[in-house]
Structure 1
């Protein structure tokens, strides 16, 4: 019997987990959410028994570490995301705690911030995401200039991939808005999207039907900067959750980090067992203690070494507790990145820098008047 109000996909996932979970508790070792609320079997059983506690899934980071540690390889992130969706559809969860994030998403997708700049004959664009261009403005511009230098036909698309809404369970909203973005890109002749954000990379990979997606790190490995000054020091890599199971992307990031001159040590922090930075799933809006526990785990693993991250969100979150640099900053401005002298705009200043990037690129790509 299907519990009332629950979609078939969620019920199917719950039954599979309930029937086959051995309760080995491997997933609970490093997850405060599962330690507090029970094993996946416990949670699935409660759901199948008619429990109204599906909204507790908003306390899960959706980071995928549980899936990485599960000997049965249960798709637990999909299970908890399905719970979030069902909670919204059944009106047992509120989006009120996430208004700030959803406003941020809406602004990034607004006409004021949107841009599609594609040179004639081009079919490839850089999609830097929302956070990176505002928080790392010098590097964002340098990255765009470098890519255009290697291929003048590369364009730039500024906008939002709507991953915040996706992860909050706003399925219909996400499908509509991302679907519009995808259709716009295809209609403009875009066929390949180069992402500078791991979250955007994951969204385009999963939902960008008709669009090939590449990470900017993979492109930079093929078109390296010349004359980089090596730096020295000890560092470790931090793997963002969207790249947890993307081994090739992790290896590319590691190679680029090592080319900086830093001694980059391989640790679990840089692989499938990496902890979430704390930002995942917007857990901090409900359970800041869970988010802080993740960030403390990251800090503990660093042991005083510099952390290299490839996600602007991770950099922002981790920097509250321990030194961290963005790999793209390290590539384009190595010494300044390590010294902490690169501008790091916050609040309104970050929005201003996003607009400045849009204005610069628009001016470069606007049609030139012909002279008779």
Structure 2
């Protein structure tokens, strides 16, 4: 995460107050102030946590200014000043033993111990926390397909640390990345195949990983993807971390086109894609805005003439799956390319079942044991 530059100072001095960045930005629309005005007075902590940190503001800014970085820096300050109760959000922290994801895996007996999780290998597959937790069948399908290409690949359960950066704890995010770097070294990994865009950009832009070949799962599996199987029309939601380099966006579209699938573009895509609602942990700080993002994307897919909305970020897929009454079907891009169906409408219901009854209540309180 960028912290060296004082973004508030830069924005206060250079922002033209043109209003271009306010389009599809809930926090700027609510505040009804230009980034220059906000920067000059200094953003409040509650405003910082209302930003999705999605980067769209920077993508559309003619000067390349980055209001979201200003809010990101304000979150770090909020944590240091004790303006946010970390205990309230510790269920999100991947460096803790008990999280919502760990409880989900425990509750549904999700176990990968039959796969190679610890023996040295040249290649490792990093699905990302969300896919690893909530789509174990898809995780296995990808892993098994990779075994056709690479000898006994490793399966990594690591997080890239993005939740820590989003909350305002960059030191803990750095520690999580360093732990994976050491794991890669100890196991002799020379190639890291990554499914999650957040993970990909966290590690591909890290100097300490320069000696490791880092590729997307779409690059690794290109020759294994299925050809055209139906008359469905697909739209692709582009995830926030891919906004600037567009590596996933390009590879997924090329894979679909090569296989003969029909696709249409949404109004907002590529650099101007609208966040799914999960970036910056927005669903935890402003859930009503997260829902608005979900609905906007599904509506745009429908308006484009799509039957299904595809995403290549698993968190995006789950967010869109929350809108169960949508006429647009939600799929992960890998579901289509590997011809592997899943029902994402059910994940939210499955997660809620963990906290039902007395046992569920006890399970819930485990999330808040041993406060920060």
TM-score with structure 1 setting the length: 0.80
Q: 2:175 corresponds to which residue? A: 176
Asked whether the equivalents of residues 128 and 197 of structure 1 are also in contact (C-alpha less than 8 Å), the reply is yes
In structure 1, distance between residues paired with 2:257 and 2:290: 29
How many equivalent pairs are there? 333
Asked whether the equivalents of residues 3 and 73 of structure 2 are also in contact (C-alpha less than 8 Å), the reply is no
Cα pair distance change 1:292/1:205, threshold 3 Å: same
Q: Which moved more, 1:192-201 or 1:61-70?
A: 192-201
Cα pair distance change 1:268/1:127, threshold 3 Å: same
Asked whether the equivalents of residues 27 and 69 of structure 1 are also in contact (C-alpha less than 8 Å), the reply is yes
Q: 1:354 corresponds to which residue? A: none
Question: Does the residue aligned with 1:173 lie in a helix, a strand or coil?
Answer: helix
Shift of 1:137: 2.4
Asked whether the equivalents of residues 126 and 195 of structure 1 are also in contact (C-alpha less than 8 Å), the reply is yes
Q: What are the within-5 Å matches in structure 2 for residues 240-279 of structure 1?
A: 240-279=239-278
Cα pair distance change 1:282/1:343, threshold 3 Å: closer
* Correspondence 1:100 to 2:91: yes
Find 2:351's aligned residue among 328, 347, 351: 347
Q: Which moved more, 1:62-71 or 1:189-198?
A: 189-198
In structure 2, distance between residues paired with 1:129 and 1:103: 11
The structure number with the bigger radius of gyration is: 1
Q: 1:357 corresponds to which residue? A: none
Q: What are the within-5 Å matches in structure 2 for residues 104-183 of structure 1?
A: 106-107=97-98, 117=117, 120=120, 122-183=121-182
Provide the aligned C-alpha RMSD in A: 3.0
Shift of 1:290: 1.7
Name structure 1 gaps, 5 residues minimum: 1-6, 351-372
Question: Does the residue aligned with 1:214 lie in a helix, a strand or coil?
Answer: strand
Find 2:315's aligned residue among 313, 316, 326: 313
Shift of 1:248: 3.2
Question: Does the residue aligned with 1:172 lie in a helix, a strand or coil?
Answer: helix
In structure 1, distance between residues paired with 2:310 and 2:169: 32
Q: 1:69 corresponds to which residue? A: 60
In structure 2, distance between residues paired with 1:245 and 1:289: 27
Shift of 1:60: 0.5
* Correspondence 1:39 to 2:31: no
Name structure 2 gaps, 5 residues minimum: 355-372
Q: What are the within-5 Å matches in structure 2 for residues 267-346 of structure 1?
A: 267-303=266-302, 305=306, 306-321=308-323, 322=326, 323-333=329-339, 336=341, 340=343, 346=350
TM-score with structure 2 setting the length: 0.80
